[in-house]
Amino acid sequence: MKKIDRLILRSFIGPLVLTFTIAVFVLLMQFVWKYIDELVGKGLEFSVIAELLLYASATFVPMALPIAVLFASIMTMGNFGEKYELVAMKAGGISVSRIMMPMALVVLLLTGVAFYFANNVMPTAMLKYRMTLYDITRKKPAVNIRPGEYYSEIENYVIRVGSKDPDGNTLRDVIIYDHSKGVSETDVIVARSGVMTASADNQYLRFILRDGYSYSEQTTGENHVKRPLTTIGFDEQVLTFDISSFSFNRSSEDLFKGSYQMMNIAQLDTTVRKLEKSLQTRREQGSQQMLIPFHAWQHWVAHDTVVPTENDVFSADRRRTAVSFALNTARSTAKDAKMQADLQQADSEYINRHRIEWQRKYTLSVACLLMFLIGAPFGSIVRKGGLGLPLVASVLFFVIYYVIGMIAEKAVRESAIGPIGMWISTLAMLPIGLVLTFQATTDSSLFDGGVWRQRLQRLFHRKATTKDDTIDQL
């Protein structure tokens, strides 16, 4: 490897790693703010939260890589141009395409890594991510009984405490409403003090109540007339509540494995073939079902007794009966047709989602090459490094690419265009990359402000000269 290649690679890999890390971090922070309410106040262990963030970060890699390539290529070539290193390389007989060659090889390697990641690592990471997030959202908030508030998170019980001692476990003025016996019997327990403790495995919550009364009111049953209200005093009473639902429980992976986002290309191909076969079967069954009302109408006409009049026409009653039967048959047929159409449309959309995911594994990988094809020549033309212009240009180019991709994906999902429509954003941005590459290799002054300023000055000077010549002639 030549020294110039090592220089270019050192200048490119540093911003690439930094930008990739920042992109993943920004996307991860967006995820955290979205689900912050599900993560806070549930007493989750740090390992569980770290596991969720790790899996979520892995799902952002295919999107963060093209952004990192775009920004790093603009920044690297812009720095070379701003520091006149690009001019020195050209003066030494090195072309722009040769300068970009080491970076292109790295990007080509990243494209292969991105495809392998999207096809093999991404499905597993997405499975773990969805499963962990589902388990976290199902978990109830941690038991937090605050003084002066009614706590109703424990099923069939409502608890209120007047105050807590500094140790957090000793309670004062405790009231517990017990609804576990149904609406026919309500129990209320009142105690002056108590101690709240949890079992070692956090499956049960124990209340040791002292100096109180237990009130039981019955509205139905055998004893509700003789003893509608029972009061029992106690010096000490122990209550145990099942809080196993408050713990973090792992779900089975089989619950999520059927999703298209958790499949690789081979699994997507197999699933699409099965779904297409199922859709074809549904269409055939729907066609047969649509003929049932017509067969019923033909049977009614063939077997119903018709009493002709002297003019061989139906009587008024028979006409009303026939029209009513025909209208009901038409309405039923229209309703069945709409239902069949909706079901087939839903099936088609579900199949399209699998096809979109199949195409996405390629488009996000090729996006690395596309972003480099745009970023490297753009940076060599503008000759601006740092974080200003490269960041703005990177965001602008990627937003255009992403918006076009989202519009195309929606069209594919609704069957407006075929699965090949997932490549529309790539095909739309490819001419921009080719034009920029041509301009860079031909030393274009497309984005040189000084050149444009000189051209405008010459244009205005020419107009002023022409105007003066016209006045002299007059």
Strand locations in 124-265 (E): 150-151, 157-164, 170-178, 185-198, 204-218, 229-242
Task: Report CA dihedral (25, 26, 32, 34) to the nearest 10 degrees.
Answer: -160
Whole-number Å distance between alpha carbons of 216 and 207: 19
Mean pLDDT over each residue of the chain, to the nearest integer: 79
Lookup: tokens for 402: 């992403």
Between residues 170 and 282, the one the model is more confident about: 170
Number of domains the chain is built from: 2
Say what the pLDDT of residue 309 is. Answer: 46
- Segment among 55-64, 142-151, 443-452 with least mean pLDDT: 443-452
Phi and psi torsions of 41, nearest 5°: 80, 15
Lookup: tokens for 116: 């392998």
Please report which helix (H) or strand (E) contains residue 246, including its range.
Answer: none
Q: Which of 191, 221, 246 is the last residue of a domain?
A: 246
Cβ(65)–Cβ(114) below 8 Å: yes
SS (H, E, C) 247-279: CCCCCCHHHCCCCHHHCCHHHHHHHHHHHHHHH
* pLDDT, mean of residues 41-60: 82
Cβ(130)–Cβ(259) below 8 Å: yes
Location of structure tokens 């090889």:
105
- Segment among 285-299, 331-345, 434-448 with least mean pLDDT: 285-299
Q: Which of 224, 246, 268 is the last residue of a domain?
A: 246
Q: Which of 246, 264, 297 is the last residue of a domain?
A: 246
Which residues lie across from 217 on neighbouring strands? 186, 229
Asked, for residue 181, whether it belongs to a domain, the answer is yes
Asked, for residue 138, whether it belongs to a domain, the answer is no
3-state secondary structure of 137: helix
Whole-number Å distance between alpha carbons of 255 and 444: 57
Indicate the residue type of 7.
Answer: L
Between residues 279 and 462, the one the model is more confident about: 279
Whole-number Å distance between alpha carbons of 410 and 419: 11
Position 231 confidence tier, pLDDT thresholds 50, 70, 90:
confident
Asked, for residue 121, whether it belongs to a domain, the answer is no
Whole-number Å distance between alpha carbons of 321 and 300: 11
Q: Tell me the Cα Rg of the chain.
A: 37
- Segment among 84-98, 238-252, 451-465 with least mean pLDDT: 451-465
Say what the pLDDT of residue 301 is. Answer: 58
At 82-91, the pLDDT tens digits run: 787 777 887 7
Q: Is the pLDDT of residue 224 over 60?
A: no
Say what the pLDDT of residue 42 is. Answer: 65
Cα distances from 371 to residues 82, 103, 110, 142, 313, in angstroms, run 21, 12, 12, 46, 78
At 357-410, the pLDDT tens digits run: 899 889 988 999 998 988 888 888 877 766 677 778 888 888 898 899 889 888
Asked, for residue 452, whether it belongs to a domain, the answer is yes
Asked, for residue 355, whether it belongs to a domain, the answer is no
Say what the pLDDT of residue 245 is. Answer: 64
Which pTM was predicted?
0.68
3-state secondary structure of 416: coil
DSSP, residue by residue, 109-120:
HHHHHHHHIIII
What is the percent of the chain where pLDDT is above 70? 78
Domain encompassing residue 209 = 150-246
How many C-alpha atoms does 396 have within 13 Å on its Cβ side? 11
- Segment among 8-17, 169-178, 268-277, 465-474 with least mean pLDDT: 465-474
Which residues lie across from 215 on neighbouring strands? 188, 231
Asked, for residue 450, whether it belongs to a domain, the answer is yes
Cβ(127)–Cβ(36) below 8 Å: no
Strand locations in 276-391 (E): none
Q: Is the pLDDT of residue 190 over 80?
A: yes
* pLDDT, mean of residues 254-281: 83
Whole-number Å distance between alpha carbons of 238 and 194: 9
Location of structure tokens 């703005």:
392
* pLDDT, mean of residues 168-174: 85
DSSP structure class, residue 154: S
Classify the phi-psi angles of 150: left when phi > 0, otherwise alpha if psi is within -120 to 50, otherwise beta.
Answer: beta
Q: At what angle do helices 316-382 and 424-441 cross, to 10 degrees?
A: 20
Asked, for residue 158, whether it belongs to a domain, the answer is yes
Between residues 341 and 310, the one the model is more confident about: 341
Say what the pLDDT of residue 307 is. Answer: 46
Q: Is the pLDDT of residue 305 over 60?
A: no
Task: Give the residue among 240, 467, 273 at the shortest CA–CA distance from 354.
Answer: 273
Position 227 confidence tier, pLDDT thresholds 50, 70, 90:
low
Whole-number Å distance between alpha carbons of 180 and 188: 11
Q: Is the pLDDT of residue 467 over 60?
A: no
Asked, for residue 161, whether it belongs to a domain, the answer is yes
Number of other residues whose CB lies within 10 A of the CB of residue 474: 5
